[in-house]
Chain A
Amino acid sequence: MDLQHSLALIVPEEILSVGGLVLLLAAAWLGDKASRGISVAAVVVIAAAAAFTVPVLCGGNMGADTQAFFGQLRVDAFAAYSKLLIYAAAAAALMIAPRFFDRWNAMRAEYPVLIVFAVLGMSIMVSASDLMALYIGLEMNSLAAYVLAAFLRTDSRSEEAGLKYFVLGALASGILLYGMSLTYGFAGTTSFEGIRAALSGGLSTGALFGLIFVLAGLAFKIAAVPFHMWTPDVYEGAPTPVTTFFATAPKVAAVSLLMRVSLDAFGGHADAWRQVVTFAALASIVVGALGAIGQDNIKRLLAYSSINNVGFILVGLAAATVEGASAMLVYLVIYVAMSIGSFVAVLMLRDAEGNQIESIADLAGLSRTNPAIAWCLLLLMLSLAGIPPLFGFWGKLVVFKAAVDAGMVLLATIAIAASVIGAFYYLKVGKVMFFDEPANKAQGRNDWAHWTLLIASTVFISPLGYLLTGWLGNLADAASAALFLTA
């Protein structure tokens, strides 16, 4: 447990912090002209961090060797799995940004730097095994995220999104902190392992309150109902590349954190939180589906879709088994690919003057004016709806399988029946693009980075994705085995 061992474990985080600081200096000296170069450098930094994370996942590392800084962090296969996903999502958010901001001359060098710091915060979040490390990581990510939401300074919607995100995020942090203090008060320790041991005798009312408040704070971060209200506004207002980022990386981080807290720290009391999680899962699925029906802005629709998807992920958590955790991790990968794909497709839709098209009505007849984007978006939408043979179905399948195997047949039945409501609004997008007469709005040209990401994510969610199920399943199993080592 010496310092050297700890430092060796957190090489990715070291690369991110040093890289982020160097890029910050470069940004200060070189100014906004160099923002493209800094973006590229940021992708390199993240790739380097990823390169040091891969062995941890492939080696299936777990156990005492993975503990750093006296149990503050646990750099195991589970953390590595989530980190790689976060790094990939962040790299995508960096790749699509320059072209988008160029339109307003708003591409500034802070963007890549902020993303790098947010990624660092998330890296800490997913490896945290102590309430203190958890909070530091969470806030580090959130502070960067608040600024990113308001990144388009000239756009009042973006400012509103930033402010809303900040105020509600601060509230959630307060709830979380309150829960943490209660937990600390009743457990006498902040380390997950210690909490688990201290509560093994039974859950007192105070500790239960602590648990509920912690879950509520985290539910805000993953945008689960009833703490989802900020999502549509923030997703709509934030610049689309930032929304892409919000919908993917922080969601992965927060879901992983929620898994670690509920399955590790409170792992002995699954019965206590299962009701809460079950309610949040079903409520998210239903509210996400119903809320989306009335939307006419595609970004708001995708926001509700992400609420809906979080509900399905939580079904896996409600199972509270290794299988359930593994299913959630598989779902997360597919969800990230679908989200990146759909937001990039939205990003690529511009009218003749280069303005972004966000209204669903303006997508009318896209299949004739811009068939490639229309087909990709249709497949992504149907994949989000979980219609086979698209890969989104596999995510839902493994989650429901875990729930059924855990004896929660009723939950699975209600959740899957509610998914039909969701299919309705995904079909609506398909209907507008394919059945309606062309509105001839979208006609902007796009650069290779957008096409690459769109096609890559579409191929991933196409039936070809099933070829990856074995590989993905093994990695997820290794990761969730690491998570459940103490259980």
Chain B
Amino acid sequence: MGGFPILSLMLLVPLVGGLACFFLDAKAARVVALTATLIDLALGIALWANYDIGGAQWQFTERAELFAGFSYALGIDGIALLLIVLSVFLMPICILASWEAIEERVGEYMAAFLFMELLMIGVFAAQDLLLFYIFFEAGLIPMYLIIGIWGGKDRIYASYKFFLYTLLGSVVMLVAMLWMIGEAGTTDIPTLMQYDFPVGAQTWLFLAFFASFAVKMPMWPVHTWLPDAHVQAPTAGSVILAGVLLKMGGYGFIRFSLPMFPEASAQLAWLIFALSMIAVVVTSLIALVQHDMKKLIAYSSVAHMAIVTIGLFAFNVQGLEGAMIVMLSHGLVSGALFLCVGVIYDRLHTREIDRYGGLSINMPKYALFFMLFTMASIGLPGTSSFVGEFLSLAGTYQVSTFVTLVCTTGIILGAAYMLYLYWRVAFGVQKNADAAAMPDLNAREWLMLAPIAAAVLWMGVYPESFLAPMRKDIAALDARVARAKPAFDSALAAARPEQVRKEPANAMPHAEGAGEGEGH
């Protein structure tokens, strides 16, 4: 693609579309929004196709000195690429999901979604610390409006809680960023990723960033905004929240916490592990007793995100790759599950599990899709979650058997609450006449669910497509954090982490050299 500013174009398309939606009536706004998101999807595919695997670490870079104190700098590595592709993949589906469900103030709704898309791409593409922060925080505004205007009964409480919770988490990070800029003298993220901050300061910086990303992630015990926000948000809002916004926390850990503060990350890994273990067990048990479908999926998200965090802080390639795949997979699967809830919510306008039952009789196609995504959420081999969770737990197993043991219960509990949910919704007798009379999927719903199902299976059967672009970046990150790798009390005496590190199963021929270059 040479010097073609494809990332800027990807930001521009939703911006123009969003501004146009303000002035259009409902029908035109829907068409404009779908067109804009499809253009961005096409651009995202072009981005992926032209991404040079094994090439330069930062590709498609753009830089313009538009502002004082920071610059408009964009660029992506493999990690950002995949998250951007996930975002642009989910957006047209969100627009389709809102096609009929949203009837009031459609123009403003579509505009909010398009601005959301702009900000999500911006977060993953920003190469400047302050630019990142602006995109990161700005996402609060459209999401606040989406929850508050088009949300459910308790939407106002949920929108306040979402906004203030995440804002409080983030402002402390801003102070840390300002300190880092003063210390390193640059706002350039790639430079900062190589900068060695004093070990004493790292702890504070890590905690400041942790405050923000842990809320965004969300980690136990600061996850309580998520069930409220999910339950109250319209279907498409939940999809974007679960699919992309939560990934910003994980992305933050990968992009900032680990490479910028490796020593502090190692010191505080116990904290992450402890919180993740609690999260997996506690939120899975909470999910087991939910009566509200969306709440159940929201709690399952917290549990899945804990698998991401343990993988990230395992300090090895398997853990990091697993965390990334879990993030991508969870973006697809939980997004799809929210869409599945949305499909029947649109028909019956309730999320009470007990109001449904026996849907596989009158909605067999729907039940098939729902089952696929249920299995994917559990982590059945052949689906994307299996790949991610297996890698993540395998990585963690090299550092702590105990953590792995506790977190693996999440998979068992996950199977319990998901199967229990599926049983109550799709199997059994048709105890409610209105639920039994619901029609099966229409063409629009097929269009929403089928692409995600294909992607889930693709990632489950041939994850190499997704692992390849980020392999080199993960290796670089692993080399960067290797010096701080804590001496874990691994039970694997025969294969201690450093021995495994010498020949990773998937090492690329030149990964070693590149890793050294990054590390010093």
Contacts and interface: CB of A to CB of B under 8 A. Distances in A.
Interface of A: 367-368, 382, 387-389, 393, 397-398, 400-401, 404-405, 409, 412-413, 416-417, 419-420, 423-424, 427, 430-431, 434-435, 466-467, 469-470, 472-474
Contact of A434 (B138, B149, B160, B168): B149
Contacts of B181: 401
Given A420-B168, A435-B149, A389 B174 contact: no
B185 to A, nearest CB: 11
A467 B68 CA distance: 9
A427 B69 CA distance: 29
Contacts of A470: 65-68
Interface of A is mostly: helix
Contacts of B144: 427, 430
Interface in B442-474: none
A389 B134 contact: yes
A472 B66 contact: no
Interface residues of B, number: 35
B175 A382 contact: no
Interface string B50-70: 000000000000000111110
Nearest to A470: B68
A416 B159 contact: no
Contact of A427 (B160, B168, B171): B160
B177 to A, nearest CB: 9
A66 B156 CA distance: 56
Contacts of B182: 401, 404-405
B175 A387 contact: no
B164 interface: yes
Given A435-B148, A435-B159, A473 B68 contact: yes
B423 interface: no
A382 B133 CA distance: 16
Given A388-B134, A424-B164, A435-B156, A419 B171 contact: yes
Nearest to A330: B68
Interface in B166-207: 167-168, 171-172, 174-175, 178-179, 181-182
A393 B498 CA distance: 46
A166 B156 CA distance: 42
5 smallest beta-carbon distances between A and B, as pairs: A473-B68, A469-B68, A388-B134, A404-B178, A389-B138
B475 interface: no
Interface of B: 65-69, 105, 108, 130, 133-135, 137-138, 140-141, 144-145, 148-149, 155-156, 159-160, 163-164, 167-168, 171-172, 174-175, 178-179, 181-182
A104 B108 CA distance: 38
B286 to A, nearest CB: 27
A397 B175 CA distance: 9
B68 A431 contact: no
Contact of A469 (B69, B148, B172): B69
Contacts of A368: 105
A261 B164 CA distance: 38
A371 to B, nearest CB: 8
Given A409-B179, A469-B69, A470-B67, A417 B148 contact: no
B71 to A, nearest CB: 11
Contacts of B108: 367
Given A388-B137, A413-B175, A472-B68, 5 more contacts: A389-B135, A409-B179, A435-B155, A467-B66, A470-B65
Given A382-B141, A387-B141, A404 B156 contact: no
13 contacts: A388-B134, A397-B174, A397-B178, A400-B178, A404-B182, A420-B171, A424-B164, A427-B163, A431-B148, A431-B159, A466-B67, A470-B68, A473-B68
A387 B140 contact: yes
Contact of A401 (B135, B155, B156, B178): B178
A382 B66 CA distance: 23
A431 B168 contact: no
Given A404-B182, A435-B155, A416 B67 contact: no
B164 A423 contact: yes
Contacts of B66: 466-467, 470
Contacts of B160: 424, 427, 431
A387 B137 CA distance: 7
A275 B164 CA distance: 30
Contacts of B167: 387, 420, 423
Given A434-B149, A470-B67, A472-B68, A420 B175 contact: no
B172 A416 contact: yes
Contacts of A474: 68
Nearest to A436: B156
Contact of B156 (A400, A405, A419, A431): A431
Contact of B172 (A397, A401, A417, A427): A417
A393 B134 contact: yes
Contacts of A431: 148, 156, 159-160
A469 B171 CA distance: 21
Contacts of A400: 174-175, 178
A412 B175 contact: yes
A281 B163 CA distance: 25
B6 to A, nearest CB: 21
Contacts of B138: 387-389
B150 to A, nearest CB: 10
A417 B172 CA distance: 7
A392 to B, nearest CB: 12
